[in-house]
């Protein structure tokens, strides 16, 4: 008998078909909104779950679903999963790293350039019929080329962002939990390691690409924003909660920094609506990895993790290896 799995949200039909070759699938192609109680109900008798980061997996759920063996998240981040609680319950947890590095790096550049060059603000101006004549000072901004790019979180995505800066003649500085090997720094446009405060004071454009954890909660708040140049741009493609959104709104409103590009928010999708009152911010709904090839690759990798976990193999992206028992 095939193990039973739940797919919690709508996904590519071909991925459902692929899963069905190996497991018995209960899918949610109608994309119903499962609350916690409904999620627990549907997980009864299930050995695995193809999870979406909109759902929370914590100790109460693991206690209520004793047959659950694997939670496979279709995301790189996994702050929606209490990994220690999963480990204590013997539940394997996986994510989908690497397949989205280049696409997310592209999007980080998209936000940085759009925010710096005031693309959204000027488009709204045009659409509102306000463009009547050309002025020398219309939507003046900072430059991207020949400026200093600061990256906080220099993993694979951060390094991909840095590589793209070569064509813009930029200097790259970065902060990370540990310094990169010299050859990786060289490949990342000769990136220079700095302490975070020095980076904030130095960079013209700061891009956040670090994972969320209790230690990184509100890593960027009012104090850190005040360290940045008044001409600087902040881009967050990491996770909501790394930036204190209320402090960022205040900094944008007061001119503490010039602009921001934000793809992730605290309490998303119920983000702080005060963002909508600002002209100097580009807002997107957590779409950094949203290209067709990348999202499809993420879905297939989630399926591969789930199939491996339920067939006695080590999943390719196992986050808590102590749970694997060959």
| Positions marked active-site | 239, 268, 286
CB distance 199 to 152 below 8 Å? yes
C-alpha dist (Å) from residue 264 to 144, 211, 244, 271, 281: 22, 12, 12, 9, 13
Contacts 24+ apart (CB under 8 A), 248-254: 248/220, 249/274, 249/275, 249/278, 250/222, 251/222, 251/225, 251/226, 252/278, 252/280, 252/281, 253/278
Residues sharing a CB contact under 8 Å with residue 181, sequence separation 6 or more, in sequence order? none
Query: In 3D, which of 251, 244, 326 has the Cα closest to residue 281?
Result: 251
Strands 4-7 and 92-94: unpaired
């Amino acid at each position: 008998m095939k193990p039973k799995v739940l797919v919690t949200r709508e996904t590519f039909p071909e991925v459902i078909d692929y899963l069905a070759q190996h497991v018995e699938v209960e899918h949610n192609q109608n994309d119903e909104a499962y609350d916690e109680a409904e999620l627990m109900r549907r997980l009864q008798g299930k050995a695995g779950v193809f999870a979406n980061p909109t759902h929370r997996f914590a100790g109460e759920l693991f206690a209520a679903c004793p047959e659950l063996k694997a939670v496979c998240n279709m995301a790189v981040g996994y702050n929606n999963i209490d990994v220690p609680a999963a480990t204590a319950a013997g539940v394997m947890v996986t994510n989908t790293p690497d397949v989205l590095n280049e696409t997310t790096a592209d999007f980080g550049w998209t936000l940085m350039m759009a925010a710096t060059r005031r693309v959204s603000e000027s488009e709204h101006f045009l659409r509102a019929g306000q463009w009547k004549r050309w002025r020398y000072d219309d939507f003046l901004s900072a430059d991207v080329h020949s400026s200093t790019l600061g990256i906080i979180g220099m993993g694979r995505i951060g390094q991909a962002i840095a590589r793209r800066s070569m064509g813009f003649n930029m200097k790259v500085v970065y902060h990370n939990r540990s310094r990169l090997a010299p050859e990786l720094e060289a490949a990342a446009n000769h990136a220079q390691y700095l302490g975070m405060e020095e980076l904030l004071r130095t960079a013209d454009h700061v891009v956040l690409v670090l994972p969320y954890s209790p230690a990184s909660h509100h890593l960027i708040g009012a104090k850190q924003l005040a360290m940045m140049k008044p001409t600087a741009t902040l881009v967050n493609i990491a996770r909501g909660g790394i930036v204190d959104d209320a402090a960022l709104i205040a900094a944008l409103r007061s001119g503490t920094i010039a602009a921001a590009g934000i793809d992730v928010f605290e309490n998303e999708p119920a983000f702080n609506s005060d963002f909508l009152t600002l002209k100097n911010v580009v807002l997107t709904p957590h779409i950094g990895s949203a290209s067709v090839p990348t999202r499809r690759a993420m879905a297939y990798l989630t399926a591969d993790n789930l199939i491996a976990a339920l067939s006695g193999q080590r999943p390719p992206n196992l986050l808590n290896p102590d749970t694997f028992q060959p």
